[in-house]
Structure 1
Amino acid sequence: MFERLAELAIRRSRLILVVATVAVALMAALGAGAFGKLRGGGFDDPASQSSRAARVIDAKFGGETNLILLVRATEGRVDDPAAARDGASLVDRLKKEKNLTNVVSYWETNSPDLRSRDGREAMVLAHVTGDDTTQRDNAKELLATYTGPYTGPYKGALEVGAGGGAAVGSDLGAQVVDDLILAEAIAIPLTLILLLLIFGSVVAALLPLAIATIAIVGSFAQLFVLGSVTDVADTATNLTTALGLGLGIDYALLMVSRFREQLAAGSSVDDAVRRTVSTAGRTVAFSAATVAAALAALLVFPQYFLRSFGFAGVGVVVIAAVGTLFVMPALLAVLGHRVNSGRLPWAKSSAKPYAKPYAEKDRSGDRDPLYRDPLWGRLARTVMRRPGVTALPVLAVLLLAASPLLGITFGTPDERVLPEDAGSRQVSTALRENFDGSEDAALNIVIGTPVSKAPLESYATELAALPGVARVEASTGTYAGGTSAPPGPASAALGRPDAQRISVISSLEPKSDAAQALVAKVRAVTPPAGSQPLVGGNDAALVDSKDSIGGRLPIAVALITLTTFVLLFLFTGSVVHPLRALVLNGISLAATLGVMTWIFQDGHLSGLLGFTPQPMEMAMTVLMFCIAFGLSMDYEVFVTSRIKELHDLGADNETAVIDGLGHTGRIVSAAAFLLAVSFFAFGVAKISFMQMFGLGSGLAILIDAIAVRGVLVPAAMRLLGRSAWYAPGFLRTFHNRFGLSESGPEHTAAATVVAPAKDAAGV
């Protein structure tokens, strides 16, 4: 297969480049409409009790409150004549808005719960209609119209701010776009500078950016297509652009480096293309398969936030790999030796590969004269001579970094992920501080069957008696502290002949452990006979989301483990290599997640990064795990491919590891640093969970490339010895028939002739 790809690139190079150019132009035109297809939210399980409650409330009661207008009197109190008249005017205008339902205000109800304790602020509650995306767009228009000084009969009497889920979603959607633009503005120029430093040649440095461009443009095109047929989260743009830029550069870097290496060894351009595709091309294909397998595990989760990353992530990996395997060989075939054009003053000559199989070398231990012993080769030699002394300190540091995981807690996004100057966050803070009980954090109970008055009163009274409940509002009245008040003007909207709605307002901190425990207590209260209440609201959604993700996480981990094991076995022919890779990757990921917990949950560096500490966002943590795992396997394949190539040529285990790392260490470290830059750029984001994702993914890449590939892999290979290549006889037979290796057929044949006799274990 790879040999045919190489021949196609050599014979039809210019045709391939023309087709690629047209394809990129078409994808760019298609991808221009991607943002219009994406949705906000997606963190909830649609089959959960809280989601079902929300749908019933939408259908029978006009929807839950998702927009809270905080109205402040510029002078005096909200009951003063000027403020009251402007408040009535505001409410009248809001009720005429076609995208709003269930508008309830203090000025209509005179409910003290809708007025602040100092009397200077009042609430207007409403529901913005539509799904998550439509709500976001509708909320954006409403906020632009009504927030700020209100121009009522008494101009300047009121100031209006907006909070609630719809306002937070609107601010979040706008901030995602701003963060993406800023991150790419940082990442792309830095990447170009680093490529120039790495390659020392202008032309060679531009080639990875060409593949990265294909990957990014293709990712936006696939987001447009996916968004047209399924739900895709708007934050997927951040992942796909960072991943497309990073993987496109990674794969192209590997291909260009191998091509220049072959040219430096004296190969013709055509032979260099053939050898590059049959070796580095195979590595790219296997690497893409491992990354795609890790991202595909996200499809087991019902939240479309995670599923959309699974679809989009797999797509961008495939696009980056296809661009590398088809377009890059054609570019190399056309450029030939001009790939080194524009050489910069600091550039050194390319490293040269081994010129002959190991079995043909001088057995005295002298190195091939074409081999240049780089830093990574010396590091690998040092580690393999003293594996315990070098590996144990690194292992201890990684385990120490992982220790904060012992205290990890999880949450879902709320207004606190936004910067402190975001309008919806400021309103949410004011609601918690100035009002008795947060309407935005209420538990919404809906009963989809008729309920008579007496059982409903008994049920509401029992709910009001639960610890942490400030009051309970039902169609039969308001219940608090063992007392009840008769139904008010807003109570009628809570009851229908065929359904009842109950609002449980808590005095607890939203999303705290106590608030989550209250959800379980509310659900445990005996309902009216013959009814099946559904409990929803933000805290209920958090509980349901944790249960949903936690219940499917073992399945996702099992799928990642199984597919990774199978792919690495097919690549290496060993059952030990996949196990070693899984263990070391698990250690590096635990260290990364531990550091992120220490920073974003425990609050260290919060002043520097400008975020509010809070529980780890569960969906984003799972996403970061899958991304980091896939990219770790990316570098596992990079390193193992060269080690196996040398092993197949007859090198002993120690020599294969030392020389394999000597050849690939610089490529892996450079690729890792370039990819980390793409992710670290999101450290300047103003959305805290995007900061966590970017910094965590970048840190995981560097830990893996430096600590794991540089120290732990050679130490493990030294301790395993020849058993690192072990496989049972039946699996070895299977691999000989169906497996693929890094080296092409001509090298496999050579290895068959010159390789030393195998021992009883088949090594």
Structure 2
Amino acid sequence: MASLARWCFRHRRLVLLLWIAAIAVLGGVSQAAGSDYKDAFSLPGTDSQKAIDLLQRDFPAASGDSATIVLHSKNGVAVTDPALKAPATEMLDKLAKVPHVSDVGSPYGPRGASQISSDGHTAFATIDFDEQGIDLPKDDIQQLVDTARGYDSSTLQVEATGQVVSITEQQQQSYSEFIGIAAAAIILFIAFGSLLAMTLPLITAIVALGVGSLLIILLSHVLTIAEFSPILATLIGLGVGIDYALFIVNRHRIGLRAGKSPEEAAVTAVNTSGRAVLFAGITVCIALLGMFALGVSFLYGVAISAAVAVAMTMAAAVTLLPALLGFYGMRVLSKRDRRKLADSGPEHENTGGFWWRWAKGIERRPQLFAVISAVVILIIAIPFFSLRLGSSDLGNGDSSKTTKRGYDLLADGFGPGFNGPFTIVAEIKSPQDTANLNAVVKAARATPGVASVSEPRPSPNGQAAIVSLYPTTSPQAEDTSKLLKKLRDDVVPQANPSHTGIYVGGITAIFEDFSSTLSSKLPLFIGVVVVLAFLLLVAVFRSLLVPLTASVMNLLAVGAAFGVVVAVFQWGWGSSLFSITGGPVEAFIPVILFAILFGLSMDYEVFLVSRMHEEWTARRDNRLAVSLGQAETGRVISAAGAIMTLVFASFILGDERVIKLMGLGLASAIVIDAFIIRTVLVPSLMHVFGKANWWVPAWLDRILPRISVESAEDIEELQHTPLPPDALTSAGQPVGTGGHVRQVPGQPGREEGSPRAGEPTH
């Protein structure tokens, strides 16, 4: 790391030019190629997937996606009134000519009576496409929406709704990140007291994010990457990018104030904090790529795009940042710091102040602080045990969207379950199969919770038939989920004793199956991520207890974040504040949030404990190591936590419910992690555990790879660093320069019991 940092510092113009060239080249290629994001996923073995496969084989006209055009009278007359019927019919004729539209089911057709509400004020037309929404060109969907909405008037309200239409409403560009960047800039200026120093983390993060975003655009052509992936990657990359650069710049400034040259300070910063950045970033990537253990292809692209963004921030932090430090020179320090350095000479980082007093307070009553902080976190996490996975429907959207307005009109005119019908698909090979389907239809009509069931509609080749079943409850309602389970487990098997191919599918069933699939694999995913991160920390810190504590603490942070998410997005607490309505939590959210939060929580653990480990390696005093490590990282971790919280919270201002949810979940987790877990709970527990923190079995120590966050030079420097006056050993004697340090015979400067320079630590 030292060699890399020195090379980048000395060849700073070349390094900067390479990063600029990367943005220019990737930008040009991505501009020419465009993006190809797709929200595609399949659920092999589920009823909903079997229904889709059967329709694609025997009923291609019904295997594509569909949309709904809603007509509503504004002046109280019936929608069949000639004054409303004429423009509506003209509009539907135009929609039939839109590319990829295979059929238009008009309410004014021979079988359109069921498409008009009982009061006659609302009607709908069904629009069938020849492909799934993920395969349809967005321009064609937009053409359909624009054509329909063009007939909205003072007397006739025209809305377009359905999952296909919602594709055109997905957020294409978010400006909320600029609010997060502005807030981060303010905190950085307060932390550094220098306008120039403030710009370093911002420039590094933005350049890394730019390269990462362009790579994701290109990857969308070779991988299936969901539409929301770029926003998610921006959210993660911006937060960790600023934080990683902040840790390195902070260490660099400490070196400058201690009298080092800009080059030596930059090399030391990258060789210490830069190593911690790499280990922290690797744990984030491990957590993200752990989503591959779920076996759900929809999440692969999400994981890769987020990991690419994190990888670019790591690369920029250890290459671009030292180059920028070379350009900035001593101006990284404020004018006051430079003046003080010139007048008073070099000085080591002052361990006194608020964070030292706070660390000493934790040291005096570790059990009390551990209990209080743990209770607070557990209380926040209580709602997590009520988590209900599913899929919020279009009724959760904002009323500014045509999909939301259309959804509400259909719910008012035809009942809440009309927006999420189940599709019963049957394979027809004999008259008995037809009889079995009719028996299922009859039984379904008598099932509580079913509003209506359509007559079977045969496929053109006679090999399949479909039936639409409308629940009495909305798609996201828990009763709808229970109805699906009852249909599959009881109604269909009992009415179909020969167990011929009859499946319950539809968009609502797809989301339910998706939720069940992810829930069943979630324990494996969590286990893989936790074990891999645990093994990495064991190798880094040569300890069993520190990685175990880190894993438990990270799980607590994730649980508390889920508690906040459930309270707001499921229970509806403060829903008006966030412009959302309560509903289930999207099935894939826990997976993504866990991957991100576990990785980010490990970031702070690595930065905190690596500093403690340096002190432990240098002085072999656990109490002193924990207090000094906490005091010296407290300010920068709190600043980093505040920055990341504001960056994540800024995404709550966006339009998409999913992005709002992730923004709130990530922001609340960072608050809990940075200001409760790393500030109170972890130091308290490490004081309680004592020297056991740093124990590892001899046999395990022999086989573990030699990985170190700190260098031998930094350990030797620490041994000569003055300590605060009240930093006493457990025996009550001062330690460090100015105290009575027992030297190892023949090795001046090394305390008895401490390792030799370059010697592995245990």
Q: TM-score range by the shorter chain?
A: 0.7 to 0.9
Between the aligned partners of 1:97 and 1:320, the Cα distance in structure 2 is: 44
User: Does the 8 Å contact 2:271/2:710 carry over to 1?
Assistant: yes
Correspondences of 1:169-318 after superposition (within 5 Å): 169-171=167-169, 173=170, 176-178=171-173, 180-181=174-175, 183-318=176-311
- TM-score, normalised with respect to structure 2: 0.88
Structure 1 position 458 matched with structure 2 position 427: no
Corresponding position of 1:538:
507
CA distance change for structure 1 residues 334 and 460 in 2, over 3 Å: closer, same or farther? same
Deviating more after overlay: 576-585 vs 687-696: 687-696
Report matched runs for 1:340-489 at 5 Å. Answer: 340=333, 343=334, 371-435=350-414, 438-452=417-431, 453-475=434-456
Shift of 1:374: 3.1
Q: Cα gap change, 1:699/1:459 in structure 2, threshold over 3 Å: closer, same or farther? A: closer
* Structure 1 position 623, deviation (Å): 1.3
In structure 1, what residue type is equivalent to 2:562?
A: L
Q: Does 1:4 align with 2:6?
A: no
Match of 1:45 among 8, 22, 43: 43
* Corresponding residue SS for 2:582: coil
CA distance in structure 2 between the aligned counterparts of 1:422 and 1:215, rounded to whole angstroms: 34
2:142 counterpart of 1:140: yes
Distance 1:88 1:459 in 2: 36
Which of 299, 319, 322 matches 2:312?
319
Q: Does the C-alpha gap of structure 1 residues 204 and 467 become closer, same or farther in structure 2, counting only changes over 3 Å?
A: same
User: CA shift at 1:303, angstroms?
Assistant: 4.4
> Which residue does the alignment assign to 1:28?
27
Deviation per CA, 1:238-259, whole angstroms, max 9, x where unpaired? 2211222221111111111111
**Structure 2 CA distance, aligned partners of 1:347 and 1:412?**
56
Question: Which AA in structure 2 matches 1:690?
Answer: I
**Runs (5+) with no aligned partner, structure 1:** 356-367, 476-490
Alignment-mate amino acid for residue 132 of structure 1? G
Preserved CA contact (<8 Å) 2:232 2:659: no
Please tell me the residue identity of whatever aligns with 1:743.
E
Q: For the residues of structure 2 that align with 1:236 and 1:436, how far apart are their CA atoms? A: 34
Report if aligned partners of 1:253, 1:671 keep a CA contact under 8 Å in 2. yes
Contact residue 12 and residue 323 of structure 2 kept, 8 A: yes
Assess if the C-alpha contact under 8 Å between 2:65 and 2:164 holds in 1.
no
**TM-score, length of structure 1 as denominator length:** 0.88
Q: Is the 8 A contact 2:641 2:671 kept in 1?
A: yes
Q: For 2:293 and 2:525, how far apart are their aligned partners in 1?
A: 7
Instruction: Render the CA deviation track for 1:644-690: whole Å, top value 9, x for unaligned.
Output: 11111124111111111121111111111111111010121232232
The answer to whether the 8 Å contact 2:476/2:583 transfers is no
Matched residue type, 1:71: L
Q: How many aligned residue pairs are there?
A: 714
Give the partner amino acid of 2:465: Q
Distance of 2:360 and 2:653 partners within structure 1: 39
State the AA in 2 paired with 1:604: W
The superposition leaves residues 388-415 of structure 1 with CA deviations (integer Å, 9 ceiling, x where unpaired) of 2222222211111111122221221321
For 1:258, give the aligned amino acid: R
Q: CA distance change for structure 1 residues 392 and 35 in 2, over 3 Å: closer, same or farther?
A: farther
Give the distance between the partners of 1:755 and 1:474, measured in 2 at CA: 87
Distance 1:436 1:680 in 2: 36
Give the 3-state SS of the residue equivalent to 2:108 in structure 1: helix
Q: Output the CA distance in 2 between the equivalents of 1:426 and 1:317.
A: 38
| Partner Cα separation in structure 2 for residue 345 and residue 220 of structure 1 | 38
**Residue 46 of structure 1: CA displacement?**
5.7
**Aligned partners of 1:224 and 1:649: how far apart in 2?**
47
Q: Counterpart of 2:594 in structure 1: which amino acid?
A: F
CA contact (8 A) 1:163 1:425 kept: yes
Contact 2:5–2:322 under 8 Å retained in 1: yes
Superposed CA offset, 1:427-466 (max 9, x none): 1112112115744411112224434243432332223222
Are the structure 2 counterparts of residues 134 and 644 from structure 1 closer, same or farther at C-alpha, using a change threshold of 3 Å?
same
- C-alpha contact (below 8 Å) 2:67/2:160 kept by paired residues: yes
Deviates more, 1:441-450 or 1:241-250: 441-450
Match of 2:157 in 1: 159
Corresponding residue of 2:114: 113
Shift of 1:139: 2.1
Which whole-Å CA distance do the structure 2 matches of 1:34 and 1:297 have between them? 30
Residue 122 in structure 1 maps to residue 103 in structure 2: no
**1:671-711 CA distances to partner (integer Å, 9 max, x unpaired)?**
11111111010121232232121111011112111111111
Distance 2:9 2:74 in 1: 74
Distance 2:336 2:130 in 1: 62
Give 1:528 shift.
Answer: 7.5
Asked if 1 retains the 8 angstrom alpha-carbon contact of 2:71 and 2:159, the reply is yes
Question: Structure 1 residues 157 and 615 mapped into 2: Cα distance closer, same or farther (>3 Å)?
Answer: closer
CA gap of 1:588–1:128, structure 2 versus 1, over 3 A, is same
CA drift of 1:345 comes to 7.1
Please name the residue that 1:168 is paired with.
166
Tell me, yes or no, if structure 1 residue 599 matches structure 2 residue 549: no
Assess, with a 3 A threshold, how the Cα gap between structure 1 residues 235 and 517 changes in structure 2: closer, same or farther.
Answer: same
CA distance in 1, matches of 2:337, 2:7: 35
3-state SS of paired residue (1:69):
strand
Shift of 1:755: 4.7
Residue ranges of structure 2 left out of the alignment (5+ in a row): 720-743, 756-760
Specify the SS of the correspondent of 1:637.
helix
After superposition, the Cα gap between the structure-2 partners of 1:347 and 1:46, relative to the gap in structure 1 and judged at 3 Å, is: farther
For structure 1, which segment, 724-733 or 329-338, has the greater mean C-alpha deviation from structure 2 after superposition?
A: 329-338
- On the 8 A contact 2:280/2:606 being kept in 1, the answer is yes
Structure 1 585/213 Cα, relative in aligned 2: closer, same or farther at 3 Å?
A: same
> SS of the residue aligned with 1:146?
helix
Once the two structures are superposed, what CA deviation does each residue of 1:466-502 show, in whole Å capped at 9, x if it has no partner?
Answer: 2222222234xxxxxxxxxxxxxxx46x564222112
Alpha-carbon distance, 1:33 to partner: 6.8
Distance 2:88 2:234 in 1: 46
2:191 partner amino acid = I
Instruction: Provide the rounded CA distance (Å) in 2 between the counterparts of 1:208 and 1:34.
Output: 31
Tell me the CA shift for residue 219 of structure 1.
Answer: 2.1
Closer/same/farther in 2, CA of residues 61 and 103 from structure 1, 3 Å limit: farther
Alignment CA distance shift 1:31-1:379 (3 Å): farther
- Hey, what's the Cα distance between the residues in 2 that align with 1:346 and 1:600? 47
Contact 2:620 2:754 (8 Å CA) reproduced? no
Distance 1:13 1:157, change over 3 A: closer
Q: Percent identity?
A: 28
User: Does the CA contact (< 8 Å) of 2:564 and 2:668 recur in 1?
Assistant: no
Report SS of the residue matched to 1:101.
strand
Residue of 725, 740, 763 corresponding to 2:707: 740
CA distance in 1, matches of 2:327, 2:354: 33
- Measured at CA, do residues 89 and 274 of structure 1 come closer, stay the same or move farther in structure 2, by a change above 3 Å? closer
C-alpha displacement of 1:64: 5.4
Whichever residue aligns with residue 83 of structure 1, its letter is L
Q: Distance in 1 between matches of 2:603 and 2:30?
A: 27
Cα pair 2:417 2:474 within 8 Å, conserved: no
Query: Is 2:106–2:125's contact at 8 Å kept on the other side of the alignment?
Result: yes
Q: Secondary structure at the match of 1:707?
A: helix
C-alpha spacing 1:645/1:680, structure 2 compared with 1 (3 Å):
same
Structure 1 374/312 Cα, relative in aligned 2: closer, same or farther at 3 Å?
farther
Counterpart for residue 72 of structure 2: 72
Letter matched to residue 469 of structure 2: V
Q: Secondary structure at the match of 1:505?
A: strand
Question: C-alpha separation between the residues in 1 aligned to 2:184 and 2:652?
Answer: 16
CA contact (8 A) 1:599 1:606 kept: yes
- Counterpart position of 1:479: none
Whether the 8 Å contact between 2:619 and 2:754 is mirrored in structure 1 is no
- For 1:29, the aligned partner's letter is G
Contact persistence 2:384–2:562 (CA under 8 A): yes
Change in Cα spacing, 1:684 to 1:425, as seen in structure 2 (3 Å) is same
